Amino acid sequence: MTDHVRDLASVREATERLLTAAGELDNATVTQQSRLPGWTRGHVLAHLARNADALVNVLEGRPMYVSAGARDADIERDASRGLDAHLADVRESAARFQDTGAAPADWSRTVELRNGVTDSASRVPFRRWVEVELHHVDLGIGYELEDLPEEFVEREIDFLAQRFAGRPDVPPTRLTDGTRAWSTGGTAAEPAITVTGGRADLLGWLAGRRDGSALTADGGALPALPPL
Give residue 188's pLDDT.
79
Give residue 167's pLDDT.
93
Give residue 170's pLDDT.
94
Within 10 angstroms of residue 197's Cβ, the number of other Cβ atoms is 22
Taking alpha carbons only, the member of 71, 24, 75 closest to residue 45 is: 75
What are the pLDDT tens digits along the chain (228 aa)? 589 999 999 999 999 999 999 999 999 999 999 999 999 999 999 999 999 999 999 999 999 999 999 999 999 999 999 999 999 999 999 999 999 999 999 999 999 999 999 999 999 999 999 999 999 999 999 999 999 999 999 999 999 999 999 999 999 999 999 999 999 999 877 778 999 999 999 999 999 999 999 999 999 999 999 988
Could you tell me the pTM of the whole model?
0.97
CB of 185 within 8 A of CB of 171? yes
| CA–CA distance, 106 with 196 (Å, rounded to integer) | 40
| CA–CA distance, 98 with 91 (Å, rounded to integer) | 11
| CA–CA distance, 20 with 1 (Å, rounded to integer) | 32
| CA–CA distance, 19 with 87 (Å, rounded to integer) | 7
Helix, strand, or coil (residue 117): coil
Give residue 37's pLDDT.
97
